[in-house]
Amino acid sequence: MFGLELRDLTKAYGDQLAADQVSLSIPHGAFVCFLGPSGCGKTTVLRMIAGLETPTSGSILLNGKEITDQPANARRFGMVFQSLALFPHLSVGENIAFALRLRGEDPRRRKERVDELLELVRLPGLQSRAISQLSGGQRQRVAIARALAQEPPVFLLDEPFSALDAKLREEMQNELRTLQQRLKITTILVTHDQREAMTMADTIVVMGEGQIQQHGPPVDIYRRPVNRFVADFIGASNLLAVEVLDGHTVRYGAIPLRVAAACGPGGAAATLAIRPEDIILSRTAGGGANEVAGVISLVRDMGAYVEYRIDCQGQDILGVSTPRDWIGAAVGEIAHIRLPVESCQVLGR
Amino acid sequence: MTAAGVSIASTASGHGRMRDRWVLAGLLTGPGLYIAIMAIVPAFLMVQLSLAHREVGGLWSPGFELTQYRQLATPLFARIMGFSLLLALTGAAICVSLAFPAAYFITRMRRRAQVAWLVFLLGSLSLSEVLIVFAFQVLLSTSGTLASALNAVGLLAPGASLYPNFPAVLTCLVYLLLPYVILFFYPALSQLDPEMEQAAATMGASRVSTFVKVVLPMMRGQILTGVLLVVIFTFGAYLTPLVLGRPPQWTIAIHINNAAMGAGNLPLAAAYAVAVVAFMVALLALTRILSQRKAVEA
């Protein structure tokens, strides 16, 4: 296969499994985000890919060739660290040329490559600037340029934007995505920021408890989470405890709800997931399917949208509405929510 | 916040700053006075004594003459200073070359192993210098363990001793200073971000080239200070060269003592001491200029 392949990659620290049988194929030129909460094993997997950690078992293949036992300095995957790890005793140009110098490139070629990379990251003319004289965003760009200098087969980034303020982070995310699309380099980014993953990646790999919970295009992950963990971690979800009645019907309390996809054998306990923006709120009962009555318990006007909570049979259900569609309900009012059949997804418990 | 609010807040923070200054001044008064009384006053007296007139019988009378300083322009004094500097620089080179990698590897060990090493190093410092120097004398003497072992394998002539000589003085001084220098490098190296070395590895650097091209240059300031630390300690060494060396291996500290106590020439001893202090100040100034130039270049 042309690209990177992880086969049953496992890393154990004593009896603690940091990564548990992680298997994944990353095609050449793809942008993949490893997404998950702290301690889920995403950085461990990235470090094993870079060669900075030795897997306990499993293998890593690059373009079909096994590289599991290759040390980091033989793999030469470009990596941007969380701390950026720019060398303070070297200038911007010397930092970028570090790998080229080790490789014995002649000074003229090195200079050309440094100039080219500084153009690429929009920092022309900063070759001789000290690292301490750069702003946070400039350091970020220098770290990216340095990692790309050796034209690595795989480009790895370990939460590189976590220390930046929101505006600069978004700017850097856009720049990185544009750069990756231009260079068509296989890129793996580790983040716990789902917005970052959703806006940048071709493929999101959701990790939890050392395992891949789900991987696929961002929209698929958002619209069709395969389990409770993914539904809960990606965006906001209402997770309702239900009982399966038949193939396409579940029971929430005493109310039968229809769902689009088949949901397993009757009598089984399951979780129904529905996104807040899919819920339709009205003052009056429409009499259709999947309608539940409840009492409004919270209303928050966030400007761009209105967030509300409605108490249905003892469970708070979260909904959001656009300001244009907001019905103007107040706390304490009885209202009706409709859960569209196509938006109701049943997950195993 | 209103304008009045801002004004009250700034006045409050102004009072806070003033109080902090007074607290700081109070805290610095004690150490400041101590240094002034115990270092500056004796230094002043030393300069005064070096310019005094020497009387017979180890006495002196106040005056302003440069007689003793003229003796500093002799080949003998140049030789003594030259040897002291050679010993200090050689000792510093050996100590730093051994201590820096040792401290580096200790910081890369597991926490428990690091603690064990630190306890061991601190424990070795609890031994008195006198005890160590005389232990070295026994070890290196004709009947000592080391000499006997070398004798047994034919590397040392029968009845020969491994002291007094320059290597004996140097070996003992390195032994005395090595734990201090390792402990001096330890905090800086343990704070070195491991991602720096990992970044170098991802760019193709081996462990050796990472150490040489990343770790060493990043620690240049600490290494320079470590060298200075050993030079200053070694320059003033007294007991080790006295016990384990011959007169040609005696440092300036021994000659100062001989001038004062042996020859009874206190003004000459004071002139020697002033010259040593001036030399050390010049060395520190030179190091500072060099490190500042490097920083500007960077």
Going along chain B from its start, the domains and CATH numbers come out as: 75-191+220-297 (1.10.3720.10)
The Cα of A121 is separated from the nearest Cα of chain B by a number of Å equal to 19
Query: What mean pLDDT value characterizes chain B?
Result: 88
| Percent of chain A that is helix, strand, coil (3-state, to 5) | 30, 35, 35
Q: How far is CA A318 from CA A275, A281, A288, A315, A329, in A?
A: 8, 11, 21, 10, 14
What pLDDT is attached to residue B137?
A: 92
Residue A10 · residue A56 · CB < 8 Å: yes
A98 part of contact set with chain B, CB < 8 Å: yes
Say if residue B7's pLDDT is above 60: no
Residue A230 and residue A212: Cα distance in Å, rounded?
Answer: 10
A96 part of contact set with chain B, CB < 8 Å: no
3-state secondary structure of B213: helix
A3-13 and A16-27 strand pairing = antiparallel
Nearest-CB residue to B198 (from A52, A99, A149): A52
Nearest-CB residue to A73 (from B206, B213, B214): B206
What share of chain B has pLDDT > 90, as a percent? 59
Residue A268 · residue A243 · CB < 8 Å: yes
Q: How far is CA B143 from CA B139, B149, B158, in A?
A: 8, 10, 10
The answer to whether the Cβ–Cβ distance between B198 and A85 falls below 8 Å is yes
Residue B159 · residue B141 · CB < 8 Å: no
pLDDT in tens, B82-129: 999 999 999 999 999 999 999 999 999 999 999 999 999 999 998 899
Residue A340 and residue A253: Cα distance in Å, rounded?
Answer: 18
The Cα of A195 is separated from the nearest Cα of chain B by a number of Å equal to 26
Residue A300 · residue A315 · CB < 8 Å: no
What pLDDT is attached to residue A83?
A: 92
Q: How many CA atoms lie within 13 A of A103 on its CB side?
A: 20
Residue A179 · residue A144 · CB < 8 Å: yes
The Cα of B290 is separated from the nearest Cα of chain A by a number of Å equal to 15
Nearest-by-CA chain B residue for A133 = B298
Contacts of B217 in chain A (CB under 8 A): 87, 89-90
Q: DSSP for A59-74, please give it.
A: EEEETTEE-TT--HHH
What pLDDT is attached to residue B271?
A: 95
| Percent of chain B that is helix, strand, coil (3-state, to 5) | 80, 0, 20
Complex confidence, ipTM: 0.85
Q: At B144, is the pLDDT very low, low, confident or very high (cuts 50, 70, 90)?
A: confident
**Which ranges of chain A have pLDDT less than 70?**
1, 348-349
Give the residue carrying structure tokens 């202090």.
B277
Point out which residues pair with A294 in neighbouring strands.
Answer: A335
Closest CA to A321 of A340, A301, A335, A297: A301
The Cα of A319 is separated from the nearest Cα of chain B by a number of Å equal to 37
Which of B202, B208, B209 to mutate against chain A (most A CBs within 10 Å)? Answer: B202
Contacts of B213 in chain A (CB under 8 A): 98, 102
Q: Is B146 left (phi over 0), alpha (psi -120 to 50) or beta?
A: alpha
A87 part of contact set with chain B, CB < 8 Å: yes
Can the peptide bond before residue B187 be classed as cis, meaning omega within 30 degrees of 0? no
Nearest-CB residue to B217 (from A81, A89, A102): A89
Give, rounded to a whole angstrom, the gap between the first and last alpha carbons of chain A: 36
From chain A residues 122-141, the ones with a CB under 8 A of any chain B CB are 130
Show the tokens assigned to A106. 């002649």
pLDDT in tens, B255-297: 999 998 888 889 999 999 999 999 999 988 888 887 776 555 5
pLDDT in tens, B214-263: 999 999 889 999 999 999 999 889 999 999 999 999 999 999 999 988 88
Nearest-CB residue to B203 (from A71, A82, A98): A98
The answer to whether the Cβ–Cβ distance between B195 and A51 falls below 8 Å is no
Residue A330 and residue A310: Cα distance in Å, rounded?
Answer: 11
Burial of B267 (0-12, 13-18, 19+ CB in 10 A): buried
Residue A155 and residue A31: Cα distance in Å, rounded?
Answer: 9
Nearest-by-CA chain B residue for A149 = B203
Residue B252 and residue B82: Cα distance in Å, rounded?
Answer: 10
Backbone angles phi, psi at B100, to 5 degrees: -65, -55
The Cα of B213 is separated from the nearest Cα of chain A by a number of Å equal to 9
Residue A128 · residue A93 · CB < 8 Å: yes
B214 part of contact set with chain A, CB < 8 Å: yes
Show the tokens assigned to B13. 């923070």
Continuous H helices in A161-227: 166-183, 194-200, 218-223
Residue B195 · residue A85 · CB < 8 Å: yes
What pLDDT is attached to residue B1?
A: 43
Please report the beta strands in B21-66, taking only residues with DSSP state E, as ranges in sequence order: 53-54, 60-61
Residue A3 and residue A137: Cα distance in Å, rounded?
Answer: 30
Other CB atoms within 10 A of residue B82 CB:
11
How big is the A-B interface in CB pairs under 8 Å?
A: 71
Q: At B9, is the pLDDT very low, low, confident or very high (cuts 50, 70, 90)?
A: low
Please report the beta strands in A91-248, taking only residues with DSSP state E, as ranges in sequence order: 154-158, 186-191, 203-208, 211-216, 238-246
Contacts of B195 in chain A (CB under 8 A): 81-83, 85
Which of B193, B195, B203, B209 to mutate against chain A (most A CBs within 10 Å)? Answer: B203
What share of chain A has pLDDT > 90, as a percent? 69
What pLDDT is attached to residue B20?
A: 87
Residue B291 and residue B220: Cα distance in Å, rounded?
Answer: 9
> Who's near A213: CB < 8 A, 6+ residues apart?
A36, A206, A207, A226, A227, A229, A230, A233
